[in-house]
Amino acid sequence: MLLLKPRLANRVGRLGFLDRYLTVWIFLAMAVGIALGAWVPSLPENIESIAYRGVNIPIAIGLILMMYPPLAKVDYSTLPLIFKDVKLLTLSMVLNWIIGPILMFTLAVIFLGDRPELMTGVILIGLARCIAMVLVWNDLANGDRTYGAALVALNSLFQVFTFSFYAWFFLTILPTWIGLEGVAIDVPFKLVALNVSLYLGIPFVLGLGGRFLLIRTYSDKWYKESFLPRIGSLTLISLLFTIVVMFSLQGDRILDQTSDVLLVSIPLALYFLIMWLVSYFTGIKLGVDEPRTRAVAFTAAGNNFELAIAVAIGVFGLHSSEAFVGVIGPLIEVPALLILVLLSKKLSKKKS
């Protein structure tokens, strides 16, 4: 991953062994998947055969389990907190649901306009707003935890009901408005809606409903101190499982696409940097305190790669370049946002 400075050591230690070396595990999962696909030639065909009505069961299970813990951890009772400051709420909504998607779309068109399949994968990442790892980055940067959780809760709700429309608009309609008829992707609205309902709707219902039932049956303390820690690593384990399966299905192709990884990393890295800087300095300009500004900045800069991967697989298929881009995403996000954590601390020291 990255060699972290000593001043972050204690806080990074809270992430646990798995989370601390996320980039390393992703690389290892990719390597294991490629090796399995090469050494066990029958494996890809066997995995593809485990499907129901076009939905691959192993992949679906992995993606749904991946999405469940972040939605289970969100304290939806914190939502009223963000409505107390209309100015900050408006800033967060504009950043997440207007500037963020448009910025990623613009970068994708500039750098990948001649590669529509890669462009589409990057655009999907920009549409999926972060609801999981943002809590980690916010905590490392000493951001306001309560406000960060409230923003995650709002993004979770907003994403469930709007992602289908966003995907349809940014992939099918908007490209034609700027003269990209040749690369406009015809994505059926119903197909996107179905996949969002499957991969985000099911975990959302389980997360919200399970939280209510378990707290009522046991206690809030038991849920937060006993249950949540037990499922904490489920997201990463499920992500790694999904990566292994996906890379085992297209190992040969991946070895020939290292240039595509570098190509995709450019708009993604620029997005993280630009989005965070715009969010942070806009918050400071509006007179928002440092902790809440960091919460807004990291919420705006992060992305929900799990959802992007799920929709890409559901709409374009397991072997698609769009799904490949979604898997590559966390490799760029993890080191990029850790660098931004260090940057936020330096900016905070200068102000003090």
Average pLDDT over residues 290-295: 91
Its pTM stands at 0.77
Categorize the per-residue pLDDT at 20 as very low, low, confident or very high, splitting at 50, 70 and 90: low
Q: Considering only residues 254 and 58, tell me which one the structure prediction assigns the higher pLDDT.
A: 58
Categorize the per-residue pLDDT at 6 as very low, low, confident or very high, splitting at 50, 70 and 90: very low
DSSP secondary-structure letter at 56? E
Q: Could you give the CA distance from residue 123 to residue 28 in angstroms, rounded to a whole number?
A: 26
Q: Give the model's pLDDT for residue 267.
A: 97
CA-closest candidate to residue 323, choices 65, 60, 124, 173: 124
Q: Which residues contact 223 (CB under 8 A, 6 or more apart)?
A: 211, 214, 215
Q: Considering only residues 52 and 253, tell me which one the structure prediction assigns the higher pLDDT.
A: 52
Query: Does position 135 have pLDDT exceeding 80, yes or no?
Result: no
Query: Does position 184 have pLDDT exceeding 70, yes or no?
Result: no
Q: Give the model's pLDDT for residue 182.
A: 46
Average pLDDT over residues 249-260: 73
With pLDDT > 70 as the criterion, what percentage of the chain qualifies? 87
Query: Which 3 state secondary structure label does DSSP give 238?
Result: helix
Query: What residue ranges define each of the domains in the chain, with the CATH number in brackets?
Result: 20-351 (1.20.1530.20)
Q: Considering only residues 171 and 44, tell me which one the structure prediction assigns the higher pLDDT.
A: 171
Q: Could you give the CA distance from residue 20 to residue 177 in angstroms, rounded to a whole number?
A: 43
Indicate the average pLDDT of the chain.
82
The predicted-structure confidence for 294-319, as pLDDT tens digits, reads as follows: 999 999 998 887 788 888 887 888 77
The predicted-structure confidence for 192-243, as pLDDT tens digits, reads as follows: 777 777 777 888 889 889 999 999 999 999 999 999 989 878 888 888 888 8
- Answer yes or no: are the C-beta atoms of 300 and 100 closer than 8 Å: yes
- Answer yes or no: are the C-beta atoms of 299 and 148 closer than 8 Å: yes
DSSP secondary-structure letter at 131? S
- Answer yes or no: are the C-beta atoms of 284 and 293 closer than 8 Å: yes
Q: Give the model's pLDDT for residue 133.
A: 67
Q: Give the model's pLDDT for residue 251.
A: 66
Categorize the per-residue pLDDT at 107 as very low, low, confident or very high, splitting at 50, 70 and 90: very high
Calculate Rg over the CA atoms of the chain. 20
Query: Does position 90 have pLDDT exceeding 50, yes or no?
Result: yes
DSSP secondary-structure letter at 76? G
Query: Which 3 state secondary structure label does DSSP give 142?
Result: coil
Query: Out of 26-35, 89-98, 144-153, which region has the weakest mean confidence (pLDDT)?
Result: 144-153
CA-closest candidate to residue 194, choices 173, 163, 223, 172: 163
Q: Considering only residues 132 and 31, tell me which one the structure prediction assigns the higher pLDDT.
A: 31
Categorize the per-residue pLDDT at 250 as very low, low, confident or very high, splitting at 50, 70 and 90: low
